[in-house]
Amino acid sequence: MAATCCNLTHASPFLNHQLFYFQRYHLVSKRSKCNTSMEKVLHRRFQVQRRDHHYIHVRYAGGAELSSSSSSSIEKNVGEEIQEDISMETLIWRAIKLPIYSVALVPLTVGSAAAYLQTGIFSAKCYFVLLASSILVITWLNLSNDVYDFDTGVDKNKKESVVNLVGSRTGIFIVAYLCLALGFVGLTWAAVEAGNIRSVLFLTCAIFCGYIYQCPPFRLSYQGLGEPLCFAAFGPFATAAFYLVQGSASVTNHFPLSGTVLSASVLVGFTTSLILFCSHFHQVDGDEEVGKLSPLVRLGTERGAEVVKAAVLSLYALLVAFGLSKALPLTCIFLCALTLPIGNLVIKFVQDNHKDKDKIFMAKYFCVRLHALFGAALAFGLVLARMVNSKLLLQ
């Protein structure tokens, strides 16, 4: 009898969970009859908790001991049942990763703005050809990443994986490399039209960084080298390449790289790498299981949160340093400083939620906001500096 009472005491967390979901379900039902999706989720959770409580009660009534493996198995089953409640629309949205395509937009916009600062000319035709081609390359990057993660087993439980959603590994593989081919043709055409072959070399290096990041036989992301490769690809290589294409389309003579575009490309690479770093937080267990040594597998989420804080602070420290050295105009410093609240939000969110796998999933999207807003401020600052300089010359 004493042993049974003791065992039931250990089972109390499951009773508390059952009572919690029962109260939540009926509370939502009373408050909002129209919120049917929330009712379904809570009702499903309540059913799962009631089933597992019944199982525990039967086991303890017979005097059976609940091992840690049995407990973790029950919790895992509960988690899997709850995951089934994610709607197909949500899974498709996650698979498309639309906000992530800002990594194609920001380097192009900043590079074009830096070229405008130098020449005072902007080619809309060139810009949109480069944008469409860049989006195709990013599509290849996302789709091929899902294919190769499917091969290694990293995405076996990832419902929003495109391969898992479509059910055809070969089909996604073919579409991915078709996007790469079309994207590279578009980028090369724009560079040839502008008469700048150097930009083709820069763009090839950027794509090669993406290839060795995830594709066999390299798969350097499994060695924790994804962030340096991401920094190089989207920062100095891509941003400088777009600068060269836009600048060469505007002038007939040799168009050199400037300290301004190199400084701007470092900041762009910094914010892009931060997105990739924060995307690992909710995948630590899965990465560790298949031997993927991402930075957060090596560091742990607590130290990883400190790295995020240091990275955001370093971003703004670099911004000030580039301003003081006159590598970037003061308009860029002022406008980019306005994004400080978003940077602070990223730090606070990661520090508060790095242990919560459900909430920390959103960390990369907060980083996308920082990346997009910081990039927009940087580009607008470069354009504004050209406008101010032109007015001063006219006076």
Gap between the Cα atoms of 47 and 362, Å rounded: 28
| Lowest mean per-residue pLDDT among 64-73, 251-260, 379-388 | 64-73
Calculated CA dihedral for residues 240, 241, 246, 248, nearest 10 degrees? 100
Q: For residue 176, which amino acid is it?
A: A
Residue 393 — pLDDT band, cuts 50, 70, 90?
Answer: low
Instruction: Identify the pLDDT of residue 34.
Output: 39
Q: What is the DSSP string of 260-274?
A: HHHHHHHHHHHHHHH
Quote the tokens at residue 236. Answer: 């100095």
Q: Is the pLDDT of residue 347 over 60?
A: yes
Quote the tokens at residue 229. Answer: 């490769």
Instruction: Identify the pLDDT of residue 252.
Output: 53
- Residue linked to tokens 């907060």: 366
Q: Is 152 exposed, middle or buried (0-12, 13-18, 19+ CB in 10 A)?
A: middle
Residue 150 CB coordination number (10 Å): 19
Give the global pTM.
0.77
pLDDT > 90 in the chain, percent: 55
User: For residue range 18-53, what is the model confidence (pLDDT) as tens digits?
Assistant: 444 444 444 444 444 334 444 444 444 444 444 444
User: For residue range 286-339, what is the model confidence (pLDDT) as tens digits?
Assistant: 888 888 899 999 999 999 999 999 999 999 999 999 999 999 999 999 999 999
Handedness of CA 196, 190, 211, 107 (dihedral sign): positive
Between 187 and 37, residue with greater pLDDT:
187
Q: Is the pLDDT of residue 77 over 60?
A: no
How many whole angstroms from its chain centre is CA 181? 24
Gap between the Cα atoms of 282 and 295, Å rounded: 13
Average pLDDT score over residue span 169-197: 94
**Is the CB of residue 152 less than 8 Å from the CB of residue 290?**
yes
Is the previous residue joined to 217 through a cis bond, with omega within 30 degrees of 0? yes
Average pLDDT score over residue span 390-395: 67
**Is the CB of residue 144 less than 8 Å from the CB of residue 173?**
yes
The backbone region for 120, taken as left when phi is positive above 0, alpha when psi lies in -120 to 50, beta otherwise, is left
Gap between the Cα atoms of 263 and 236, Å rounded: 9
Q: Is the pLDDT of residue 70 over 70?
A: no
Residue (of 313, 327, 207) closest to 264 by Cα position: 327
Q: Is the pLDDT of residue 244 over 50?
A: yes
Residue 14 — pLDDT band, cuts 50, 70, 90?
Answer: very low
Residue (of 137, 131, 169, 177) closest to 151 by Cα position: 169
Instruction: Identify the pLDDT of residue 132.
Output: 97
Tell me what the pLDDT averaged over the chain comes to. Answer: 81
H runs (alpha helix) in 153-237: 162-166, 169-194, 197-214, 226-232
DSSP class of 233:
I
Instruction: Identify the pLDDT of residue 239.
Output: 97
Gap between the Cα atoms of 320 and 309, Å rounded: 17
Residue (of 266, 194, 196, 277) closest to 237 by Cα position: 266
Residue 59 — pLDDT band, cuts 50, 70, 90?
Answer: very low
Gap between the Cα atoms of 165 and 186, Å rounded: 29
**Is the CB of residue 108 less than 8 Å from the CB of residue 130?**
yes
Between 363 and 11, residue with greater pLDDT:
363
How many CA within 13 A on the CB side of residue 237? Answer: 20
Instruction: Identify the pLDDT of residue 395.
Output: 59
Q: Is the pLDDT of residue 240 over 90?
A: yes
H runs (alpha helix) in 68-161: 68-83, 88-96, 102-119, 124-152
Dihedral pair phi/psi, residue 294, rounded to 5°: -65, 160
How many CA within 13 A on the CB side of residue 321? Answer: 11
